[in-house]
A = this chain, B = another copy of it.
Amino acid sequence: MNKRKIINDPVHGFIKIPYDLLYDLTEHRYFQRLRRIKQLGLTHLVYPGAMHTRFQHALGAMYLMSSAVETLISKGMDISEEEAISVHAAILLHDIGHGPFSHVLEHSLVKVSHEAISQIMMQKLNEEFDGQLTTAIAIFNDSYPKRFLHQLVSSQLDMDRLDYLKRDSFFSGVSEGVIGSDRIIKMLNVVNDKLVIESKGIYSIEKFLVARRLMYWQVYLHKTALAAEQMLVHLLKRARALIAKGDELFAPSHLRYFMEQKHGIEDFYLNKDVLDNFALLDDDDIMCSIKVWTRHPDIILSTLAKGFVNRQLWSIEISEQPLKPEIIKTIKEEVRMHFGLKSLKEANFFVFSDTIRNNAYSVKDDKIEILFNNNELKDIASASDMLNLSVLGKTVRKHYICFPKVIKQKLQSNGVLF
């Protein structure tokens, strides 16, 4: 059977699956599940094109990996075929552990990060594939000797980022976020077992960092999507509370399994059912259940559910300074009265405040290093005279509060706020 399939991809053109093992991995139900997990969670509520999935992203990142491996080999790097296959497998599976709506519900359904679940699933796959993934897992874990292979999978310039920035810009229609991934990859090199960028690529890196920042504020942290995400998180919290109280809340069994109990990492190892149920979970379970909940008698659950499903989203305010506690209290009080809630505590399901943060470039993490013609290496932050080092390394923090639009109108007409 021919496993060297070619897949049409709107972003990269034709994606070739370069090794049989990779084809077999894509056919596995774990990988197929990624078809049903949107890459950008709820961002499509703001950018309707952003319906693309983790499935497409994983294939796209694999495509860029082929290009990166080819470039490095052409520059004399020593990469064996087994290493090539493994670094492809590692990037293909790097997101395999994501749950419904990617980051949105991380830690809401289980107590485990998606990276940890990716690890667990890769190990399970490694058993099924008779140990063929051992090197891939070592690369993913950064326990493989050639550390630059890990950096291709996870670092400030990994194939993950190069694909997702391009793909997310493409599908959201925010064309300014598009980056020159081809050129960046052509500029890759390895020095002292570390991935570096040749100095001719410095402007491309500057643009990459600026594009990334633009995508953060314009797409990834878009306030309307944030409001939707918080509604969803609180919806599930409320649902969980109702179930705890004995409510026969509608949900497919594999979702209900995680609503009744919040499993930790040890449960994945001890109890086969945890992974089996998780491997069925995706966006559709959440959406399907919430639609049923729109008719639930609990006013908190059904109000959130209707708002969420019909995109009547909460109002959200972003500010440089945290909101004063007394204003938050006023809002909660209004919410309690308006919806006839029993307590201010219940109003917490309708009023959420927290902080968001973004740092475009982490000085602590592995740096992006630029290789000059005299073989000198410099951190991009000092190599670039354009980018503000102190700013790049600094986390930007913003505060938000989110609550029903009807309350905002009320408070505004009373002159209370905003």
Contact = CB atoms under 8 A, between A and B. Distances in A.
Interface of A: 6-11, 13-14, 27, 29, 32, 35-36, 44-45, 47-49, 51-53, 55-56, 59, 170-176, 178-180, 182-183, 186, 203-204, 206-207, 210-211, 213-214, 217-218, 250, 252-254, 280, 282-285, 287-289, 291-292, 294-295, 309-312, 360, 385-388, 391-392, 396
A49 B385 contact: no
A243 to B, nearest CB: 17
Contacts of A172: 8, 10
Closest 5 CB pairs of A and B: A8-B173, A288-B288, A388-B388, A203-B214, A29-B310
Contacts of A10: 49, 170-173
Nearest to A283: B284
Q: Which of A6, A8, A56, A288 has the most CB of B within 10 A?
A: A288
A179 B56 CA distance: 25
A354 B203 CA distance: 24
Contacts of A183: 14, 176
Contacts of A204: 176, 214
B214 A173 contact: no
B213 A386 contact: yes
Contact of A206 (B55, B214, B294, B385): B214
B217 A9 contact: no
Contact of A288 (B173, B218, B285): B285
Contact of A48 (B55, B213, B386): B55
A288 B211 contact: no
Contacts of A186: 6, 14
A252 B45 CA distance: 23
A186 to B, nearest CB: 7
Given A32-B311, A213-B386, A282-B291, 17 more contacts: A8-B49, A8-B172, A8-B174, A9-B49, A10-B173, A36-B287, A49-B52, A176-B203, A176-B207, A206-B213, A210-B210, A210-B386, A252-B292, A254-B291, A284-B284, A284-B291, A386-B387
